[in-house]
Amino acid sequence: MKLTISLAQMAFEFGEVETNFNKAAEWIADASGHGSDLVLLPELWASGYDLSNWLRYATPLDEGLFPRIADLAKEYKIAVGCSLLEERDGKAFNTFVIYGPDGTRWGEYRKIHRFRLLEEEKWLGAGESLGLIDSPWGPIGLAVCYDLRFPEMFRPYALAGSKLILIVAEWPERRVAHWSKLLMARAIENQCFVAGTNKVGESLGAKLGGRSAVIDPWGETLVEGDDQEALLTVEIELKEADKARRFIPVFKDRRTDLY
């Protein structure tokens, strides 16, 4: 099964929600015009890491920017995935949602690994479950930024049949080599496609790294950005994951009796 993915490697205006929303709407329209089935926006693209003011941005899943993104997905007939601040039980969560081309929410994932270098544990609640969602292309695994450093999170996605893992991030330029290498590692070890969207520009005094990419199950880079804004689009064939898993049957050779 084939699908076309667009990665919206955006710069953004810190805390300027409407400006960022209007820009995102243009990128979603552009991705649709390129014939994409799915477009990914980066982590917290609307607000940035203005976490101490989370009350200004966070809403329940059926309010605020969430239904507005759903409306854009429906308007442009394209699946849209992105991360926004969600208010739930009096806490803020960094929540990755995906909406189908009819505007229905396919699922959500609340970031489980909080990045202590940005004091996320001070402002954000921790998610309590992995993000495996159903889609017309089969199960898809979801992850957010820092999650990429935890390989044990990704194996259950592959074992559940996922051939595609999606990651949204705000990863700094100073560690962008880690980002690129970890995207490749997660794809190779799980024999699946990995698509990661990262911001560019600056945030909290740090330059963001870009290098958004789609990696195939063999570890080959199908498309990759630099450190500038770009809409990166590529078609993938999900059957390649099946080929990789048959050729090197890693999952069958695991020693679950020992680890």
Calpha distance 162→184 (Å, rounded)? 16
Q: How far apart are CA 14 and CA 176, in angstroms?
A: 21
Residue 122 known to be catalytic: no
Helices (DSSP H) in 131-238: which residue ranges?
151-159, 176-190
Among the options 82, 86, 87, 111, which is catalytic? 111
Per annotation, catalytic residue among 87, 120, 145, 170? 145
111 is catalytic: yes
- From 52, 67, 88, select the one nearest 21 (Cα to Cα): 67
Instruction: Name the helix (H) or strand (E) containing 22.
Output: helix 17-33
Which of 23, 43, 108, 224 is the catalytic position? Answer: 43
Is the dihedral angle over the CA atoms 178, 6, 96, 157 positive or is it negative? negative
Instruction: Give the up-direction half-sphere exposure of residue 67: CA atoms within 13 A in the CB hemisphere.
Output: 5
Per DSSP, what are the bridge partners of residue 165? 141, 194
Which residue in 203, 126, 125, 218 sits closest to 171, CA to CA? 203
Residues forming the active site: 43, 111, 145
